[in-house]
Chain A
Amino acid sequence: MSEVKTTPPPPPAAPPVPKEKVKFLWNDKEIEAKPGSNLLKAALDNKIEVAHYCYHPGLSIAGVCRMCMVEQEGVPRPFPACNAVVTEGIKVRNDTAQIKAAVEWTLQLHLVNHPLDCPICDQAGECGLQDYYMKHGVYDSSMIDKKVHKDKVQDIGRNVMLDAERCILCSRCVRFTDEVTVTHEMGIVNRGDHSEITTNDSLKNYYAQNLVDICPVGALTSKDFRFKQRVWFLDDVDTTCIGCETGCSVKVSFNKNDAYRVKPVFDAAVNGYWMCDDGRSVYKHVGRADRLVTFMENRTGLFLPAIEKEVVGKLKEKKKNFILSTDLTNEEYAAFFSRLKGESVNVALYSLPEHKLEDGRDFDGLLRRSNKNANLKGAEAAFKKAGFDASEAALQTLVNNLKADDAIFIVMPEVVYNEDHLETLVKKVKNAGSKVALTSNEAFYFMKDFDYLLPLPTFLEKTGTMLNFKGLERKLNRAKNTWGEASKTVASYAELMFGE
Chain B
Amino acid sequence: MLLNKDLYKHHGYLKGLYLALKITIITMFKNILGLEKRMTLNYPEEKYFYSDRFKGKHVLTLKEDGSLRCTSCMLCATACPADCIHIIAADHEDKEVEKAPVAFEIELLRCVFCGMCEEACPVDAIRLTNEYTMSGFAERDWLIGIPELSQRSTLNNGKGIISTVDDHDRLKIKL
Residues of B within 8 A of A228 (CB): 89
Contact B99 A232 (CB under 8 A): no
| A194 located at the interface, meaning its Cβ lies under 8 Å from any Cβ of chain B in the complex | no
The distance in angstroms between the C-alpha atoms of A118 and B99, with both chains bound, is 11
| A91 located at the interface, meaning its Cβ lies under 8 Å from any Cβ of chain B in the complex | no
Closest residue of B by beta carbon distance from A232: B78
| A365 located at the interface, meaning its Cβ lies under 8 Å from any Cβ of chain B in the complex | no
Specify which of B90, B122, B175 is in contact with A227 (CB 8 Å cutoff). Answer: B90
Specify which of B73, B91, B175 is in contact with A119 (CB 8 Å cutoff). Answer: B73
| A140 located at the interface, meaning its Cβ lies under 8 Å from any Cβ of chain B in the complex | yes
Main secondary structure of the interface of A (DSSP, over half): loop
Query: How would residues 211 to 238 of chain A score, 1 for a CB under 8 Å from any chain B CB and 0 otherwise?
Result: 0000000000000001110101100000
Contact B71 A120 (CB under 8 A): yes
Contact B175 A120 (CB under 8 A): no
In chain B, positions 109-159 with a C-beta closer than 8 Å to chain A are 122-123
Known: A226-B91, A227-B89, A227-B91. Is A120-B78 also a contact (CB below 8 A)?
no
| B6 located at the interface, meaning its Cβ lies under 8 Å from any Cβ of chain A in the complex | no
Question: Interface size bucket, A side?
Answer: 10 to 19
| B98 located at the interface, meaning its Cβ lies under 8 Å from any Cβ of chain A in the complex | yes
Closest residue of A by beta carbon distance from B75: A119
Closest residue of A by beta carbon distance from B90: A227
Closest residue of A by beta carbon distance from B175: A141
Closest residue of B by beta carbon distance from A151: B95
Query: How would residues 98 to 114 of chain B score, 1 for a CB under 8 Å from any chain A CB and 0 otherwise?
Result: 11000000000000000
Closest residue of A by beta carbon distance from B125: A119
Specify which of B75, B78, B89, B98 is in contact with A152 (CB 8 Å cutoff). Answer: B98
Residues of A within 8 A of B123 (CB): 119
Contact B174 A230 (CB under 8 A): no
| A153 located at the interface, meaning its Cβ lies under 8 Å from any Cβ of chain B in the complex | yes
Instruction: Identify the interface centre among B89, B96, B122: most chain A CB within 10 Å of its CB.
Output: B89
Residues of B within 8 A of A118 (CB): 73
**Distance to closest chain B CB from A120 (angstroms):** 4
Contact B71 A230 (CB under 8 A): no
Known: A120-B71, A120-B73. Is A153-B98 also a contact (CB below 8 A)?
yes
| B74 located at the interface, meaning its Cβ lies under 8 Å from any Cβ of chain A in the complex | yes
The distance in angstroms between the C-alpha atoms of A417 and B123, with both chains bound, is 46
Closest residue of A by beta carbon distance from B123: A119
Contact B89 A119 (CB under 8 A): no
The distance in angstroms between the C-alpha atoms of A230 and B90, with both chains bound, is 13
Query: How would residues 130 to 143 of chain A score, 1 for a CB under 8 Å from any chain B CB and 0 otherwise?
Result: 00000000011100
Task: List, sorted by A's number, 11 A–B pairs whose CB atoms are closer than 8 Å.
Answer: A117-B98, A119-B75, A120-B71, A120-B73, A139-B175, A141-B175, A153-B91, A227-B99, A228-B89, A230-B74, A233-B74
Spell out B's residues near A (CB within 8 Å): 71-75, 78, 89-91, 95-96, 98-99, 122-123, 174-175
